[in-house]
Amino acid sequence: MLDATPRKLVEVRDLKMHFPIYAGILRKRVGEVKAVDGVSFDIFAGETLGLVGESGCGKSTCGRAILRLYDITDGSVKIDGAEIGDTPQGGLRKMRPTMQMVFQDPQASLNPRMTVEAIIGEPLMEHTDLSRDKRRDRVHELMDAVGLNRTFSNRYPHEFSGGQRQRIGIARALALNPKFIVCDEPIAALDVSIQAQVVNLLEDLQEKFDLTYLFISHDLSMVRHIADRVAVMYLGKVVELSPREALYAEPLHPYTKALLSAVPEPDPDMTTEDRVILQGDVPSPSNPPQGCNFCTRCPAVMDICHREDPEFREVQPGRFVACHHYNQTAGDTAASEDNKSIQQGETT
Amino acid sequence: MKLKTALLGAATAVALSGVTAQAERGADGHLNIIYWQAASILNPFLSGGTKDTEASSMVIEPLARYDEQGNMLPWLVDEIPTVANGGISEDLTTITWKLTPGIKWSDGSDFTAADVVFTGEYCMHPEGGCQQESKFAGVKNVEALDDLTVKITFDGPKPFPYAPFVGVESPIIQAAQFANCLGADAPNCTEANFGPHGTGPFRVTEFKANDVISYEANPHYRDPAKPAFATATFKGGGDAAAAARSVLETGEFDYAWNLQIDPTILTQMAGAGKGTVVSSFGTSVERLMVNLSNPDAALGDKRSTLEGGPHPFLTDPIVRTALSKAIDRALVSEVGYGAAGKPTCNVLPAPAIYASTANDACLGQDIAGANAMLEGAGWVKGADGIRAKDGVRLSILYQTSTNAVRQDTQALLKQWWSEIGVETELKNVDAGVFFGGDQSSPDTYQKLFADIEMYTNNFAGTDPEAYMGNWVCDEIPMPSNNWLGSNMPRYCDPAYDALAAKMGQTSALEERAELAKAMNDMLMQAGAMIPLVHRGDVSAHSNTLNGVKMNSWDSELWNVADWTRAD
Amino acid sequence: MLNYTIRRLMFTIPVLLFISFIIFLLLDLAPNDPTGNLPMTIPPEVREKIRESLGLGQPIHVRYFKWCVQFFVNEPLNIIDQMFGTCTWGCEDRLRVQSWATRSPVVDLIVERMPQTLWVVGMSYVVGILIAIPIGVISAYRQYSWFDQAGTFVSMVGFSVPTFFTGVLMIVIFSVMIPTDSWFWFPSIYDTTHKVTDLASFGFQIRQMAMPVFVLALYNAAQISRFMRASMLDNLNQDYVRTARAKGMRERVVLLVHVLRNSLIPVVTVIALGVPQVFGGAIITEQVFKVNGLGQLLIIGIQGADIPLVQTLTFIFAVLIVLFNLIADILYGILDPRIRYD
Ligand SMILES: Nc1ncnc2c1ncn2[C@@H]1O[C@H](COP(=O)(O)OP(=O)(O)O)[C@@H](O)[C@H]1O
Ligand SMILES: [Mg+2]
């Protein structure tokens, strides 16, 4: 990504998605779930940005908020140059063809009462004025593209296997020639044997149709395989964003380190003693800690972490991190020293 | 309904401009009657229910019927046969009716003695299940002497031979129409049962069972100026309160029958000014039946039978009298029945000539007196406040049917009796079971597996002979007669039986009245029954309806031919 | 599906026969007496004879067998004869199921009652559904809005306040308090003899149906709108709805095509299962407004211990319940492609 100047297809700035919490007989608003709480990043045209994090950290919410499947609380989202952060839902409809989503659960995300043809063809009906026959042709084309037998076009979703259903979901997303697709854990619900097929399909399609992906996953090894850059989320915030190689080789944020050390991949450089096991539970997104969100579990926590929320900033070219360790000195040495102490101090 | 009434009214008004409404058949338009119990059938021989007999009374008529005073009126005959006018034979075994000439059925054919004879045959058929069969008890033969003369022969002297063909329950049906409906075939004649031809002021145009009957004026009715109404509806369904409302408050109906509802509500409804509540008193008496036999469950099969022995304490006349004295009948009547009740001390309170005055002392409540009586007789209060003598405690099981008013009455009596040291346990049984006569149920009013029970009984017509005959020894219900019998108290006194037998041989009305009063007084003084309330019938009619003469001795619709619309 | 239906129907026959026997047994064991409501002036011997003439003297298996022959053989034959004007064997003295109280064929009584029951109870069901579905949809779509809160309140009222109360209340307001000549006056007593022949009589029919239909529709709508709301809520949170939105479908399409159609599946089943109740009549409402439909017929039969009537009606209800259960299952299969019965 360092060659030329890549075009930014998606620009997210300070995105916030808070869900209100109501309680009591009168349903008074008593608080909010800060599912996404100030997230900023760019996605360049043609790349795949991986978004990883523990379950519940707000990945799906983030993906949906970017596509404006929610009315966001705050922030700006620019897709292909157009600001959609505050566009009303009605106005958004026309822009939907550019941006699409593949959902985690292929079964639940397909209307059980519609045939494959209707599912894939419905957006064509809404957004194009193709004739009936042309529409059918296009559906068949798409089915070919995702590797579905076109004779099955009159079947209902429940008649397919999980992998096939996800292919239907992908074909559906592709129908309107989108530029940007959010893949929200598209393989998490599938058998391991089928996961690779679907990932490969996504990669092939990316090449063929020149797609840009936001690939959401909790599976670090899968992200390593597919993503060009990786963003790590913790409790509604992106804590680190780096090119893939750099991230996996030298994670900067203590949380990223902990995550990577937990990957069951055989890594010759890391013995079991090097594992960082995080203590305690993830705080509730409705009541995040003061200061750094990670301060309650961070092995290298400092005083300041409890007071101030670290800024998310570029500490190396192309590498962003939100951690006070990189804020104080801005020097690489200090950071790496700290790293040592972390690992020694908290090994179990 | 309103619209229809208005339209019909308008139409008739145009047609009859200048003519006085009363003088013309059909001049008053439409009449709306509501009986909240819907009529099931128009053949009173197949259903003895009041709703059915009264609905049919607009169509079919008896030879003679009773007016609102209880006097017998010749109806399809010119005069009532008596011994004096030769209509009844000297030996009291035959009665001969002479039909009024010229009466026609609603289909235009002549009404003849053959129809009367056929009606007798119809009801007396052994397989017909005729519900009015008791009207024909003792009838040996009914024959037509000529087209207009019917002679009824009894199998013995019949001092009061006015049961067959007299009153609402014994009307004449047309021979031609019912010819194929005799005996076992009776239920199969649906068409005839739903639309009998009659001699009455109306005829049926549409019958919807358990719902509604539509009538029109009978074009062949004997009085060409009647009925004043051209058409009539007899609607059923709902409950008494709704029926009352439809006459008294909404004004949709002209006449509502049997409004036994909370008296205060009825008064309040009448306040709307659209209608009038009317009542009349027949022979219904709400009474306590005192079990003179022993209902102890330990007796097994002999429970509540003569063989089971006498009741441990209710056989003591002092106790029975005390129980009666403790009751404030006026209050019971007021609370439960309002306009539909008055306190009574007689089980035979009407017609007036039969009503005794010998027992009227009971009208006043006398708790102190009752206590003194019991004390004097050796019934002394124990530690629990309950009187006892020789180890026998005055503890009563008091049963009746399930019914709000009856349960109120039970509660009142229990209170009063507790004040005289009598313990009362209350029990109520679903009316269907209580009166149902199911042999297998222990809770029927005939078995009387209790010390005291309460219900209302009455007799149809005006002659009390059969009614007073209920308390002869032979009428005691017991296992050997399948508990069929009406002598609930198990009262058995040869002197009473003798009076009953004597009445069976006496024809002169005054003598019969003396006998009936004597029997009533015997029963009252023995305390076998404790009468509480003389119950009347309550109905309501619209203020725009004239001519209603509320009648407890016959159908309430007995004079519907004379009803007119007030202007 | 056809095979399934036939298989189910075949299985139904022994079930229904069994049900009919149980009903017969229960009615026989119940302590009731057809002469119980007669005036006391009718003496016990006569009552005994009446019972005898009704066939009560015979043992129970004989009576049950007779009823079976009358109901399963004679009545269908009679229907055939009436339809084609024929006279299959023995049409003259064929014994039909006879009501004891009216001494007329029970089936004729039922047929006579059908119009008012269907007009009033059936119409209230239709009206109830028509009200309930939009209310359920909007309540779910705008969950916790004032509309939803109001809907919840109204259905709670419709659900918990008995129809004899709402019915009488309506009568007091619209028949008693409003003057008779006002346009807002409504009849409190249903005229079953009324025939619709022209516009004016149709208008009267509407007026006399208005109050009972409203009272019952309120009750039905309360129930169905709750179902509809719950079902909509279930579906609104489904991923496929998000998919539809992501496709850029109009909100109306998302709601009406995607969510509503899926939500209707269980609701349609509930509606189908409720149809036998329509035939069962609304006993209380029919009584309050004197509609005298099937519900009132049944209650009169029970009160008067008219066993053949009660037996036949109850059995017909049983048949309808079994039938509409089957229909609900089949509808489910038709509406939901995920369900297959073969
Ligand atoms: N519609 C919603 N209303 C309230 N809270 C929500 C809603 N959707 C998600 N959340 C909360 O937001 C947080 C993030 O959820 P999600 O984005 O689904 O996490 P992930 O996809 O990373 O597992 C969770 O705590 C979840 O409970
Ligand atoms: Mg997720």
Average pLDDT score over residue span A68-75: 92
Test the C interface: residue of B250, B446, B475 with most C CBs within 10 Å: B250
DSSP-H helix ranges across B20-149: 50-57, 113-124
Which residues 6+ apart lie within 8 Å of C310 measured at CB?
C27, C298, C301, C302
Find, in chain C, the residue whose alpha carbon is nearest to that of A170: C243
**CATH architecture of the domain formed by B69-188:** Alpha-Beta Complex (3.90)
pLDDT tens for B449-495 read: 999 999 998 887 788 988 999 999 999 998 888 888 889 999 999 99
CA of A106 to the centre of ligand 1 (A): 19
- At position C120, the amino acid (one-letter code) is V
Which residues 6+ apart lie within 8 Å of C9 measured at CB?
C326
Test the C interface: residue of B7, B32, B188, B211 with most C CBs within 10 Å: B211
CA of A239 to the centre of ligand 1 (A): 18
Question: What pLDDT does residue B35 have?
Answer: 93
3-state secondary structure of B138: coil
* A:205-264 residues touching chain C, CB 8 A cutoff: none
Last residue of a domain, one of C69, C84, C99: C84
**Residue B126: φ, ψ to 5°:** -60, -25
Whether this prediction's pTM lies above 0.95 is answered by no
C118 in the same domain as C71: no
Question: Is B210 within 8 Å of C292 when comparing Cβ atoms?
Answer: yes
Nearest to A112 among C242, C246, C338 (CB): C338
Residue A4 region by backbone torsions, left for phi larger than 0, else alpha for psi between -120 and 50, else beta: left
Atom 11, ligand 1: residue with shortest CA distance: A35
Domain ranges in chain B are 1-59+200-274+543-567, 69-188, 282-460+529-535
Whether the CB-CB separation of B229 and B30 falls below 8 Å is answered with: yes
Report the C-alpha gap between B338 and B20 in whole angstroms: 39
3-state secondary structure of C148: helix
In chain B, residues with a C-beta closer than 8 Å to the C-beta of C102 are: 40-41, 190, 193-194, 209-210
Q: Does A22 touch chain C (CB under 8 A)?
A: yes
Find, in chain C, the residue whose alpha carbon is nearest to that of A67: C246
β partners of residue B152? B95, B142
Check residue B100 and report its DSSP letter: P
Report the C-alpha gap between A189 and A172 in whole angstroms: 18
CA gyration radius for chain B? 25
Residue bearing tokens 């309040």: B268
Question: What pLDDT does residue A168 have?
Answer: 94
β partners of residue C121? none
Chains B and C touch (3+ CB pairs under 8 A): yes
Question: What pLDDT does residue B10 have?
Answer: 44
Domain ranges in chain A are 250-348
- Confidence check: pLDDT of A346 > 60: no
Please classify residue C218 by burial: count the beta carbons closer than 10 Å to its beta carbon, then call 0-12 exposed, 13-18 middle and 19+ buried. buried
Whether the CB-CB separation of C218 and C166 falls below 8 Å is answered with: yes
Question: Is C290 within 8 Å of B242 when comparing Cβ atoms?
Answer: yes
Atom 18, ligand 1: residue with shortest CA distance: A60
Test the B interface: residue of C189, C205, C215 with most B CBs within 10 Å: C189
Ligand nearest to the CA of A58: 1
What are the Cα distances from residue C172, in Å, to A229, C121, C157, C218, C290? 76, 21, 19, 18, 15
β partners of residue A99? A180
Last residue of a domain, one of C68, C84, C100: C84
CA of A101 to the centre of ligand 1 (A): 17
pLDDT tens for A254-284 read: 999 998 887 665 555 555 556 677 878 889 9
Provide the shortest C-alpha distance from residue A61 to chain C (in Å): 12
Mutate to test the pocket of ligand 1, among A32, A54, A61, A185 (most ligand atoms within 8 A of CB): A61
CA of A236 to the centre of ligand 1 (A): 9
C126 in the same domain as C68: no
C193 in the same domain as C118: yes
Question: Is C31 within 8 Å of B134 when comparing Cβ atoms?
Answer: no
C175 in the same domain as C26: no
Q: Does C155 touch chain B (CB under 8 A)?
A: no
Report the C-alpha gap between B216 and B199 in whole angstroms: 13
Question: Is C240 within 8 Å of A69 when comparing Cβ atoms?
Answer: no
Nearest to B237 among C35, C41, C292 (CB): C292
Q: Does A97 touch chain C (CB under 8 A)?
A: yes
C59 in the same domain as C120: no
Atom 14, ligand 1: residue with shortest CA distance: A58
CB atoms within 10 A of CB C53: 22
C260 found inside a domain: yes
C42 found inside a domain: yes
In chain C, residues with a C-beta closer than 8 Å to the C-beta of B132 are: 42
E-strand stretches of A45-98: 48-52, 74-79, 82-83
Task: State the DSSP H helix or E strand holding residue A32, giving kind and residue range, or none if neither.
Answer: strand A28-44
C140 in the same domain as C12: no
Residue length of chain B = 567
The sign of the CA dihedral A309, A313, A315, A318 is: positive
Residue bearing tokens 């006391």: C40
C93 found inside a domain: no
Task: State the DSSP H helix or E strand holding residue B145, giving kind and residue range, or none if neither.
Answer: strand B139-146
- In terms of CATH, what superfamily is B282-460+529-535? Dipeptide-binding Protein; Domain 3 (3.10.105.10)
Q: Which other chains touch chain C, taking contact as 3+ CB pairs less than 8 Å apart?
A: A, B
β partners of residue B456? B286
Tell me what percent of chain A is helix, strand and coil, each rounded to the nearest 5.
40, 25, 40
CA-based end-to-end distance of chain C: 6
Question: What pLDDT does residue A264 have?
Answer: 63
Instruction: Look up residue B270 and give its two tokens.
Output: 């009448």
Q: Does A101 touch chain C (CB under 8 A)?
A: yes
Question: Is C338 within 8 Å of A108 when comparing Cβ atoms?
Answer: no
Question: Is C39 within 8 Å of B50 when comparing Cβ atoms?
Answer: yes
CA of A214 to the centre of ligand 1 (A): 18
Q: Does A165 touch chain C (CB under 8 A)?
A: no
Report the C-alpha gap between C285 and C275 in whole angstroms: 17
Provide the shortest C-alpha distance from residue A222 to chain C (in Å): 24
B351-377 CB burial, b ≥16 within 10 A, e <16: beebbbeebeebeebbbeebbebbeeb
Report the C-alpha gap between C94 and B369 in whole angstroms: 69
Report the C-alpha gap between A135 and B141 in whole angstroms: 96
Nearest to B241 by CA among C188, C296, C186: C188
CB atoms within 10 A of CB B285: 24
In chain B, residues with a C-beta closer than 8 Å to the C-beta of C36 are: 431-432, 435-437
- In terms of CATH, what superfamily is B1-59+200-274+543-567? Periplasmic binding protein-like II (3.40.190.10)
Report the C-alpha gap between A8 and A1 in whole angstroms: 11
Q: State the ipTM, two decimals.
A: 0.86
3-state secondary structure of C1: coil
DSSP-H helix ranges across C31-94: 44-53, 60-68, 75-84
Nearest to C248 among A103, A112, A127 (CB): A127
What string of DSSP letters covers B376-445? Answer: HTT-EE-TTS-EEETTEE-EEEEEEES-HHHHHHHHHHHHHHHHTT-EEEEEEE-HHHHTT--TT-TT-T
Question: Is C104 within 8 Å of B127 when comparing Cβ atoms?
Answer: no
Q: For residue C261, give the CATH number of its domain.
A: 1.10.3720.10
C274 found inside a domain: yes
- The pLDDT tens digits along chain B (567 residues) read 444 444 444 444 444 444 444 468 889 999 999 999 899 999 999 887 888 999 999 999 999 999 888 888 999 999 999 888 899 998 889 999 999 999 999 999 999 999 999 999 999 998 887 888 888 988 999 999 999 999 999 998 888 899 899 999 899 999 999 999 888 777 678 899 999 999 999 999 999 999 999 999 999 999 999 999 999 999 998 889 999 999 999 999 999 998 888 888 888 999 988 999 998 998 999 999 999 999 998 888 889 998 889 999 999 999 999 999 999 999 999 888 888 899 999 999 988 889 999 998 889 999 999 999 999 999 999 889 999 999 899 999 999 999 888 999 999 999 999 999 999 999 999 887 888 767 788 898 989 999 999 999 888 778 898 899 999 999 999 888 888 888 999 999 999 999 999 998 888 778 889 999 999 999 998 889 999 999 998 999 999 999 999 998 899 999 999 999 987
Instruction: Look up residue B302 and give its two tokens.
Output: 């002999």
Nearest to A41 by CA among A347, A321, A342, A344: A321
Which residues, judged by CB distance below 6 Å to any ligand atom, belong to the binding site of ligand 1? A 19, 33, 35, 53, 55-61, 285
* C:53-72 residues touching chain B, CB 8 A cutoff: 53-54
Test the B interface: residue of C29, C46, C112 with most B CBs within 10 Å: C46
C99 found inside a domain: no
Q: Which residues of chain C have pLDDT under 70?
A: 39-41, 89-93, 342
pLDDT tens for A172-231 read: 999 989 999 999 999 888 888 889 999 999 999 999 999 999 999 988 888 999 999 999
The sign of the CA dihedral C318, C324, C326, C329 is: negative
Report the C-alpha gap between A62 and A68 in whole angstroms: 9
Helix axes B404-419, B367-376, angle to 10 degrees: 50
E-strand stretches of chain C: none
C106 found inside a domain: no
Give the range of the structural domain holding residue C11, as residue numbers without chain letter.
2-84
C179 in the same domain as C43: no
Atom 8, ligand 1: residue with shortest CA distance: A61
CA of A73 to the centre of ligand 1 (A): 14
C147 in the same domain as C52: no
C246 in the same domain as C330: yes
Question: What pLDDT does residue C282 have?
Answer: 81
C216 found inside a domain: yes
Question: What pLDDT does residue C90 have?
Answer: 67
Whether the CB-CB separation of C285 and C291 falls below 8 Å is answered with: yes
Band (pLDDT 50/70/90 cuts) for residue A342 is very low
Report the C-alpha gap between B81 and B88 in whole angstroms: 6
Closest-lying ligand 1 atom to the alpha carbon of residue A63: 17
CA atoms within 13 A on the CB side of B429: 26
CA of A61 to the centre of ligand 1 (A): 6
C341 found inside a domain: no
C127 in the same domain as C60: no
Nearest to B210 among C39, C204, C297 (CB): C297
Ligand nearest to the CA of A17: 1
Check residue C173 and report its DSSP letter: I
Whether the CB-CB separation of B271 and B246 falls below 8 Å is answered with: no
C153 in the same domain as C284: yes
Q: Which other chains touch chain B, taking contact as 3+ CB pairs less than 8 Å apart?
A: C
Question: What pLDDT does residue A37 have?
Answer: 92
Whether the CB-CB separation of B209 and C102 falls below 8 Å is answered with: yes
Nearest to B38 among C31, C191, C300 (CB): C300
Question: Is A97 within 8 Å of C261 when comparing Cβ atoms?
Answer: no
CA atoms within 13 A on the CB side of C5: 11
How many cross-chain Cβ pairs, A to C, lie less than 8 Å apart?
74
**Cα angle for residues B418, B423, B428 (degrees, 5° grid):** 105
Report the C-alpha gap between B418 and C255 in whole angstroms: 71
Q: What is the mean pLDDT of chain A?
A: 86
Peptide bond into B351 cis (omega under 30): yes
Question: What pLDDT does residue B278 have?
Answer: 92
Report the C-alpha gap between C99 and C297 in whole angstroms: 11
Percent of chain A with pLDDT over 90: 62
- At position C98, the amino acid (one-letter code) is Q
Nearest to C46 among B131, B212, B235 (CB): B131
Nearest to A150 by CA among A177, A115, A199: A115
Closest-lying ligand 1 atom to the alpha carbon of residue A216: 21
C29 in the same domain as C170: no
Question: What pLDDT does residue A334 have?
Answer: 41
**Residue B515: φ, ψ to 5°:** -60, -45
